[in-house]
Chain A
Amino acid sequence: MRKPNDLNYLLFIFPALLYVGYFSFYPAARAVYLSFQTPHSHFVLVNYKSLLYYGLSSAVLNTVALTVGALLIQLAIGLGAASILLREFRGKRVFSALVIIPMGVATVVAAVTFSFIFPPPPGGYANALLELLHLPQFNWYANTLASLFTVMVADSWKNTPIVTLILLAGMSGVSPDLYRAAEIDGAGALRRFIHITLPNIRGSIAVALIIRGVSEFNIFALPLVLVGYRIPLLTTLTYEFYSSASIGDYYYSLASATILLAFVAAFILVVLKLGGGRR
């Protein structure tokens, strides 16, 4: 029989590649190209200059802050949940099913729910809990930082499960012998976690951070519902211009989208570089 060659099998992959080329790469390139235009002139920076006036820098800052904060929360809870899932205990099957449920909940549903838990003051479910415990009330949108934190908590609810599963896959690969040896040497659970678990799942942590990092940059529905346009992010700023009827605003939205794309592209380059050695 003839030895199969790459070219024949490449034909099977080709439709999918053509599809993503036409519907993803081509529009992305068009967005970048059009962002340097206006209805009247070619290759100008005027869209970007106007964006600076309309609060581009705070949108970038807020997006970066939101990304970093959300990643830290998800990593912390994910590490905890994965460490629990690594052990045998009664009710583990139920627990592991519960842990993935938020993953299946649509972002907009999470947004509705958290708008009941963290509504604008006064009251809401979270403050009702605080009141029940005789703790002081909290304005979840008192300032930019508080608002961003509220969005982070809501976002982490939905996205911690993915982080947990990626970290769990990494932790399951660590040899139990390492733990046993450390235990014999007298290392406690915390020291074993810091000196054995963490270094050995570096790769999984990196994967989780990258995957979630890109998504955090694209976070859209949740802030749109919870804080609207008050705290601009790159996505909500883009959408605000897009949904206005003016043609000039359409070009601003392209410029703002291009900046978002630049951040995501930087992320992607880092990933490809990290993965490069292994390919």
Chain B
Amino acid sequence: MTTIQRVLVYAGAAVVTAYFLYPLYVLLLVGFAPVQYTLDKIYPAQFTMHYTLANLVTALTSYGFIDPLVKSLKTAFLVGGLSVALGFPAGYGLSRVSKKVSSAASTTLFVVNMMPAIVIAIPISTQFVRLGLYGSFVGVGLAQELVALPLATFIIYGTFQAIPRELEYQARIDGAGVGRTMLGVLAPLAKPGIAAAFLLSWMLSWDEFTFAILLSPVHPTIPILIYHNIQRGNLLASTAFALFLTLPVVAITIMLQKYLKGEYLSGGVKG
């Protein structure tokens, strides 16, 4: 690289970094600085030396945070669990069927992934009312699974493609049944992929907005609680919840960096 190119690369990296980090910086600033330095000002300072935990403490203790937190956690674990329960066999099956069958099945999953949540949620809501699932974490989780399952399946599918079939045949010859082969031999080998699928599904549910607001508006998850508080003008509370929602997810995103590759994100579609 010439010097000019080097300068250009650093300048570009600096601009992109600023665009990606500035909003997070603002969120932290509003979250941790006293409100007279941030939202109470028409032109808030870009930097301050005054910090406080009072915003967070007030928000987390006096705005009914516990119920939404519990609901969000229950939903996210349900979605993660469903993704493994359905995605593990599906990913295994996909890696073993003929090319024609596997591309038909992954096309179906890919189409599901693109289905608008709002279109599906409207008819589902009346059925959930009838089944007593409307407003429950189970109902929200069952719907959110539609977003998570295709991605989880593709990740596990990718993992199985890398596991030699001979290992499986060996186990079968040694007398292990299908169940034991899957749980005893294949599951441990596919563990990283399964863990990634679980975490990604957990995270998709934790962040999900559309299904959650359409199917459980009165007993909200955290994202909906954030929205309700913006509507009511409780901006500091919504900021505190937003920070709380974001921290685990940013950690998981960085952990999953390896799996967030173009191929998985494009859902198996080749250009």
**Distance A27 CA – B112 CA, assembled complex (angstroms):** 12
Number of contact residues on A: which range applies? 35 or more
B13 adjacent to A97 (CB under 8 Å)? no
Q: With A27-B120, A28-B120 as known contacts, state yes or no: A211 contacts B267, CB within 8 Å.
A: yes
In the complex, are the beta carbons of B227 and A225 less than 8 A apart? yes
User: Which residues of B148-164 have CB atoms within 8 Å of chain A's CB atoms?
Assistant: 149-150, 153
Does the CB pair B119–A84 fall under 8 Å?
A: no
Within 8 A of A (CB), among B88-141: 89-90, 92-94, 96-98, 101, 103, 105, 107-112, 114-125, 127
Write the A109-128 contact mask toward B (1 if CB under 8 angstroms, else 0): 11111111100001111011
- Contact (A10, B97) CB under 8 Å given A122-B42, A225-B227: yes
Q: How far, in angstroms, from A101 to B253 measured CA to CA in the complex? A: 7
- In angstroms, Cα B116 to Cα A1, docked, is 45
Q: How many residues of B contact A (CB 8 A)?
A: 102
Q: Would A103 and B253 count as touching, CB distance under 8 A?
A: yes
- Neighbour of B116 across the interface among A103, A109, A224, A260, CB < 8 A: A260
Option from B22, B93, B246, B269 in Cβ contact (under 8 Å) with A105: B246
Chain A residues lying within 8 Å of B96, measured Cβ to Cβ, are 4, 9, 12
Task: Return the CB mask of B184-212 against A: 1 if under 8 Å, else 0.
Answer: 00000000000000000001001101100
In the complex, are the beta carbons of B13 and A23 less than 8 A apart? no
Q: Is the CB of B97 within 8 A of A6?
A: yes
Report if A198 contacts B (CB, 8 A). Answer: no
In chain B, positions 1-54 with a C-beta closer than 8 Å to chain A are 1, 5-6, 9-10, 12-13, 16-17, 19-24, 26-27, 30, 38-39, 41-46
Instruction: Knowing A16-B87, A84-B9, say if A268 contacts B111 (CB, 8 Å).
Output: yes
Q: Scan residues 159-186 of chain A and give those whose CB is less than 8 A from a CB of chain B.
A: 160-162, 165-170
Q: Which residues of B contact A30 (CB under 8 A)?
A: 123
Given contacts A6-B98, A105-B250, A204-B271, contact A123 B43 (CB under 8 A): yes
CA distance A28 to B108 in the complex (A): 14
Stretch of A43-51, A64-72, A143-151, A215-223 with 4 or more beta carbons under 8 angstroms from chain B: A215-223
Whether A52 is near chain B, meaning CB under 8 Å from some CB there, is no
Smallest Cβ-Cβ distance to B12: which chain A residue: A84
Given contacts A1-B169, A99-B16, A242-B122, contact A261 B116 (CB under 8 A): yes
B78 at interface, CB cutoff 8 A = no
**A15 contacts partner chain B, Cβ-Cβ < 8 Å:** yes
B265 pairs with A24, CB closer than 8 A? no
User: Which residues of chain B come closer than 8 Å to A113, judged between CB atoms?
Assistant: 23-24, 26-27, 242
Name the 5 nearest CB pairs between A and B, nearest first: A203-B271, A169-B262, A12-B93, A104-B253, A123-B42
| 23 interchain pairs, CB-CB under 8 A | A11-B93, A13-B89, A23-B124, A27-B121, A30-B123, A31-B119, A83-B12, A89-B9, A97-B254, A98-B17, A101-B20, A104-B254, A105-B249, A106-B249, A107-B207, A108-B227, A116-B26, A123-B41, A125-B26, A127-B43, A169-B261, A203-B270, A264-B116
